[in-house]
Amino acid sequence: QVKLEESGGDSVQAGGSLKLTCAASPYMLTTCGMGWYRQASGKERELVASIKNDGDTIYSKSVKGRFTISENNDKSNAKSTLYLQMTDLESDDTAIYYCAAEYRMIADYCSVTGFEPNFWGQGTQVTVSA
């Protein structure tokens, strides 16, 4: 079945760096895009960054220039790994970070308006102390 498993969350001081990893198994579905969301305590879940199957990336204004999303696809076993390199971390970056994926039966079903995730990981906690 589809699996998304995050790792790499930790507690760091402001100004530090972290790299999140998401091990993804789309099973037999087509990957339309992948991304990272985060949810801080008492706030709604928000998009941090996404990458479409054509390589286009989107970043939220709050992280642009500090975070980098990338992926590595292993075609030999139809698995992929999604990364989020986070630098110059701020206390406002404290949140649970979720890996998300838009997987569809065929590419023709991929969202044409943007990244619309339909699968989620369990999340990994990132805590940034001042």
- Reference 56, options 114, 121, 130; nearest CA is 114
Q: Which amino acid is at 126?
A: V
Residue 79 is predicted with a pLDDT of 83
User: Per-residue pLDDT tens for 3-17?
Assistant: 999 999 999 999 999
**What band does 52 get if pLDDT is binned at 50, 70 and 90?**
very high
Q: Which amino acid is at 2?
A: V
Across 83-97, average pLDDT: 98
User: Per-residue pLDDT tens for 71-88?
Assistant: 998 777 678 999 999 999
CA quadruple 32, 33, 38, 42: dihedral, nearest 10:
-30
Residue 33 is predicted with a pLDDT of 95
Cβ-count burial 56-89 (b if 16+ within 10 Å, e if not): eebbeeebeeebbbebeeeeeeeebebbbebeeb
Residue 18 is predicted with a pLDDT of 98
Residue 26 is predicted with a pLDDT of 87
**What's the mean per-residue pLDDT of the chain?**
94
